[in-house]
Amino acid sequence: MNVAEFDFELPAERIAQEPSVRRDGSRLMVVTRGTGRVTHRRFAELPDELAAGDLLVLNDTKVLPARLRGKKPTGGEVEVFLVEPVGEEGGAPVWSALLAGGKSVRPGTTLSLRGGMTAVVAGRDGDVWRVKLVHDGLTTMEAIDAAGEVPLPPYIRRDAGDPRLALDRERYQTVFARVPGAVAAPTAGLHFTPELLALLTARGVEIAFVTLHVGLGTFSPVRVTEVEAHRMHAETYAIPDATSGAIDRARRRGGRVVAVGTTVARTLETSADDRGGVLSGSGRSALFIYPGFRFRAVDALLTNFHLPQSTLLMLVCAFGGTEHVLAAYRIAVREGYRFYSYGDAMLLRAA
- Burial label for 237, CB within 10 Å (0-12, 13-18, 19+), is buried
Q: pLDDT value at position 219?
A: 63
The 10s digit of each residue's pLDDT in 267-296 is 999 999 999 999 999 999 999 999 999 999
The 10s digit of each residue's pLDDT in 126-176 is 888 999 999 888 888 999 998 899 999 889 998 878 889 889 999 999 999
The 10s digit of each residue's pLDDT in 290-317 is 999 999 999 999 999 999 999 999 999 9
8-state DSSP, 206? E
Q: pLDDT value at position 217?
A: 63
Query: What is the value of pTM for the model shown?
Result: 0.94
Question: Please, what sign has the CA dihedral across residues 343, 168, 198, 236?
Answer: positive
CA dihedral angle for residue 289, residue 292, residue 296, residue 297, rounded to 10 degrees? 40
Q: Which CATH architecture best describes the domain 3-63+171-349?
A: 3-Layer(aba) Sandwich (3.40)
Q: pLDDT value at position 154?
A: 86
Q: Where are the domains of the chain?
A: 3-63+171-349, 67-147
**Structure confidence at residue 102 as a pLDDT band (50, 70, 90):** confident
Distance, in Å, from the CA atom of 329 to the CA atom of 333, rounded to the nearest integer, reads 6
Distance, in Å, from the CA atom of 21 to the CA atom of 170, rounded to the nearest integer, reads 12
Q: pLDDT value at position 114?
A: 87
What would the mean pLDDT of 87-106 be, rounded to a whole number? 88
Look at residue 220 and tell me whether its pLDDT is greater than 80: no
Look at residue 318 and tell me whether its pLDDT is greater than 90: yes
Q: pLDDT value at position 91?
A: 85
Phi-psi region of 261 (alpha: psi -120 to 50; beta: other; left: phi over 0): left
The 10s digit of each residue's pLDDT in 59-77 is 999 999 999 999 999 999 9
Q: Residues in the chain, how many?
A: 351
User: In this structure, which CATH number among 2.60.40.1180, 3.20.10.10, 1.10.287.610, 2.40.10.240 belongs to the domain 67-147?
Assistant: 2.40.10.240
The 10s digit of each residue's pLDDT in 183-201 is 999 999 999 999 999 999 9
Look at residue 221 and tell me whether its pLDDT is greater than 90: no
Helices (H), 1-55: 46-49
